[in-house]
Chains A and B, each alone.
Chain A
């Protein structure tokens, strides 16, 4: 177990569907992240929440909608996606302190396929 749990592991959805990805961390961290991983590309930071407040939103299309109800849970709501949104979506958490050098702890990801 990584301490960061993502569900589902795999998701296939049509372009008109609405689905949600879930992430839960059991590490007592105060920051949570969504990353998109596509083949042969650097990880793309999508959203960051610190103490349940969104602190980063990297020009992500509105068809992706994050939600952070508490410091242990993070959701990514999906609607009217495009085939190019097919990727591995990774959730991560960290314990941010003034030194800001704490590593990220990742979940195993959700493999999303948009048909």
Chain B
């Protein structure tokens, strides 16, 4: 079965420190990869996506993600965390050539950034 795993329910970091939110997936082929963020009482917002090419993808708010094909991972990173980055982060995967309608989400990782 196709799935997305976010192994950490919660990640705690101090403001100014680098952060990593992990994601691995089990989807056949070379899927498209996405990260979304959800702030309290809001819907999900798109952060970045990987289609092809450079394994390091840059997105909104200073976030970036590193794709590793051999490990089927797509970890979200930021060099210096802000308190305002505290939110719920979702990794998502979309198989290619499926009409674009099936996006598989992970269960989410809650990020806490302490001042």
Contacts and interface: CB of A to CB of B under 8 A. Distances in A.
A55 B94 contact: no
A90 B44 contact: yes
Interface string A40-58: 1111010010100001100
Mostly, the B contact residues are loop
Interface residues of B, number: 28
Contact of A55 (B90, B101, B107): B101
A108 B43 CA distance: 4
B107 A45 contact: no
A56 B102 contact: yes
B9 to A, nearest CB: 7
A43 B99 contact: no
Interface residues of A, number: 30
Given A40-B108, A42-B105, A42-B107, A102 B100 contact: yes
A100 B41 contact: no
A101 B42 contact: no
Interface of A: 2, 4, 6, 31, 33, 40-43, 45, 48, 50, 55-56, 90, 92, 94, 96-97, 99-109
